[in-house]
Structure 1
Amino acid sequence: MQYNNIKKLMLGLALTATVCSSAMATTFIEKQQQELKTLRSQWQQKSIPSGMQSAPLRAVTERDSGADNVSIYIQNVNFDIVENIGFYVENLAASLEPKVTGQPVIFDDVESFTINVHSGSVVLSEQVIADLFNQHILDYWPRPMNDLKVKARDGYLEVEADIKLWSWFPGFWLPADLGGKIVLSDDNKLVYEIDDVRLFGIPLFGLLNTLYIDLDLLLSVDRKGATLVDSVLILDHTAVFPPPSLMGKIATTFIDKDGLHLTFAANEAATFNQPTVESDSYIWMQSGDPRLFDIVVNNGTIQVVADDTSKPLRFNLYDYRTQVAGGKLRMNKAGDIIATLPSSAGPDYKPVLPAKAASAKPKLGQSLASLQVNSCINSIGFNICE
């Protein structure tokens, strides 16, 4: 009898434990599902900078946030497209626009998207201009000019190069010097107005003018985005750089000892959120669907900062995989990614002249960190209570 009572008691306790365990599991699952539902609504919340997209959003899917492009803001960054060809970016608001609507921006396929600059300012240093010509514009054979060296001064650009007349005569390189101003044409192209030509140090421009001989009768430069017409070199910024294509209207340009300055002001209405991590040098992608490696970041924000904060970040678009592999990635519950990367190799831009008053910067709105109300979430969005 006593044994049966003990058996019944044990069975009752086991049943009670099972019921309690089931109830607790149900409560845990419900809590987990509720948290997932809250996070999902947060992940799908649109964060497109105001003034960047006026068209209606597409239907949201697991691989498509509905945004037309990736909105990007860059500040105080040496941004290389490939090797040393690129810009020092003072500040820039742009959109990375896939050529096929609905596709992510594929960083490994630079032909698949364009960079549409809305506003901001960049600088091409003397070395960058020389590399652009030596490694890209004149990268064909027979080439008319070789080993360009550039010297910039206030309002004037001097070029030292070896040349071959008609790309072949006299069979060896002739030392030449060119000089001129760069102005904007009515159709928004950069025009290098050559007014000084020297061969072996002997000035020839006046003689050529007297004989009505334009420079294009002696030299031929006819590449995508770069054409020598009469005695002016016409550069189309939308075609002269390696892909991706650079779109956007140049508002002003000038030359000083720092190099060639370009200012864009087609759309100054864009307002970005403050980046997740406070920094004076960063790349900030706020909306859209970038594809990095083989991963699509759907409707997420990505901030790229340098691991060495003593100097501006140097980022190389074509070689971003190497930088990411050598850096650290963190992600918070909101889906924000913070990439702390080593800078790519290359000469750092160092202004020769004292810093000028900054041009109008794209507006930055409320900080994402300031929107956090949970005391467990720290200033960069990570849960410190878990």
Structure 2
Amino acid sequence: MVDKKQQRKILIGKLIHLSIIMAVATVLGVFALKIILSHYKLEHKPMELGGEAKGFRTHSRSGTYMKLANLHFRLTDEINMQVKELIGEAIPKAKGGVVNFDDVNSFRIDILSGEAFVRTGVMEFIFNNNVFNYDGSPLKNMKMEFFDDDEGGKMVKKLRLTGDMKLVVWLGFEMIGKMYLDREKTLMVIEAERIRSLGNPYTKTLLDAVGLNMEKLLPVPSGRGITMSGNKIIVEPFKIFPPPQIGGFISDMRVQNDGLQLFFSSKTKVNFPPLPVKDVKNYLYLYQGDVKFGKLMMIDARLQMVDATQKSDFDFYLKKYQLPLALGSSKIMRDGSVVATIPDYRDAIK
């Protein structure tokens, strides 16, 4: 028989053993909970509305493919291009980031294929306000005009540049030359053939005779997307446009009376799925990748922005997309893609 004293000792021992087991289980439970919460915080924390995409991870690719059709694509109030069809890729500059359309400096656009048209007036604005708008600039009030010129019995497209040139004092000038594409380096070249100043048609001849040329007369600081080389103006087209940073390979350039037709190509081919809305001609489509618009976040994007009217080109302003988007309507399709029908920017601001 076990006396009461021994029974008490056995019971106390069992209670102590049980307490140790419970304490260990509690510690392990707390540790496991911390791991789960930490994982949830890093991998599944929702975006703060309107904030940056920090600590957010998905299995989507880092960039989003873009398909543009019949767009009046605005980069600023004055700078735009006419896009017939263009395929590109928007890539975040930060590693592991999302494509944040509210910050045009946070991503770049690599153009893969298609064509776009830049009007003469847009190029004039870029030259006057972006390229030569700095203290000590040797040129101002530039105007550009493309025209047909007789060259040995053959009509050739030429460029007429006029404006004011600083040669000690400001003098009016006119330059006639050719504009062509250096395909190998993806550069635009303006080659002066005739230069006049104050109505003197022999200005270029006189400059050549004393060993001077545009490079020596009109020095341009580096980093402005333009370089003088002899009597050539070398233009780096992707450096003279405002953000977002644009890149790509220009395979051809055709000079028209009212501007430049640019053609892009690359070895990269994108297999887009069928569009959510097929019977439209004016649209912008985003495919794959994570994309942020204001307080909205799309994972593995499938977004088609459709012109509400379809009567003329789709007037889309990248920096001010919120206004027409707020005036439009959105629909979630069966496959999870989103279709946003929005008015032209020009109509939204009326």
| TM-score normalised by length of structure 2 | 0.74
Q: Which residue of 1 aligns with 2:161?
A: 159
Q: Which structure 2 residues correspond to residues 53-132 of structure 1 after superposition, within 5 A? A: 64-132=58-126
Q: 1:326 to 1:174 in 2, by over 3 A?
A: farther
- Residues 184/340 of structure 1: CA separation in 2 closer, same or farther (3 Å cut): same
Asked if 1:181 is matched to 2:178, the reply is yes
**Contact kept? 2:252, 2:264, Cα under 8 Å:** yes
Q: Are 1:296 and 2:297 an aligned pair?
A: yes
Question: 1:322 and 1:157, CA in 2 relative to 1: closer, same or farther beyond 3 A?
Answer: farther
Cα distance in 2 for partners of 1:302, 1:153 equals 42
Percentage of pairs with the same residue: 27
Give 4+ residue runs of structure 1 displaced > 6 Å after superposition: none
Corresponding residue SS for 1:322: helix
1:65–1:289 contact (8 Å) kept in structure 2:
no
- Name the CA shift for 1:96/1:178 in 2 (closer, same or farther; >3 Å): same
**Pair 1:209-2:208 in alignment:** yes
Deviation track 1:224-272 (CA, whole Å, cap 9, x = no partner) reads 3212222211111232211221111111112121411211111363232
- How many pairs does the alignment contain? 281
Secondary structure, in 3 states, of the residue corresponding to 1:241?
coil
3-state SS, counterpart of residue 146 of structure 1: strand
Give the equivalent residue in structure 1 for 2:219.
Answer: 220
Check conservation: 1:114, 1:244, Cα contact below 8 A: yes
Residue in structure 2 matched with residue 364 of structure 1 by the alignment: none
Flag the structure with larger Rg: 2
* Partner residue in 1 for 2:280: 279
CA–CA separation in structure 2 for the residues paired with 1:237 and 1:312: 24
Distance, in Å, in 1 between the alignment partners of 2:343 and 2:166 is: 42
Which segments of 5 or more consecutive residues in structure 2 lack a partner in the other structure? 1-54, 149-156
Aligned amino acid, residue 270 of structure 1: V
* Distance in 2 separating the partners of 1:71 and 1:299: 11
Ranges in structure 1 where 5+ consecutive residues have no aligned partner:
1-60, 347-386
Give 1:181 deviation, angstroms: 1.8
Question: Residues 76-95 of structure 1, C-alpha deviation per residue, up to 9 Å, x if partnerless?
Answer: 11112112213211211100
The answer as to whether partners of 1:124 and 1:259 remain within 8 angstroms in 2 is: yes
Do the aligned partners of residues 208 and 79 (structure 1) sit closer, same or farther apart at CA in structure 2, a change above 3 Å counting? Answer: same
User: Closer, same or farther in 2 for the Cα pair 1:288/1:250, shift >3 Å?
Assistant: same
Note the C-alpha offset of 1:307: 2.5
User: Bigger CA drift: 278-287 or 199-208?
Assistant: 199-208
Q: Does 1:199 align with 2:158?
A: no
Matches within 5 A, 1:135-150: 135-150=129-144
Q: How far off is 1:153 after superposition?
A: 3.3
Partner of residue 236, structure 1:
236
| 1:213 CA displacement | 1.2
Matched AA of 2:123: I
Partners of 2:231 and 2:161 in 1: how far apart?
14
- SS of the residue corresponding to residue 65 of structure 2 reads strand
Instruction: Give yes or no for contact 2:62–2:98 (8 Å, CA) kept in 1.
Output: no
One-letter amino acid of the structure 2 residue matched with residue 338 of structure 1: V
Give the TM-score normalised by structure 1: 0.67
Q: Which residue in 2 is equivalent to 1:307? A: 308
Matches within 5 A, 1:12-91: 64-91=58-85
Please give the alpha-carbon distance, in whole angstroms, between the structure 2 residues aligned to 1:153 and 1:276. Answer: 44
* Cα displacement (A) at 1:160: 2.1
CA deviation vs aligned residue, 1:83-113 (integer Å, no higher than 9, x gap): 2213211211100011123211011221211
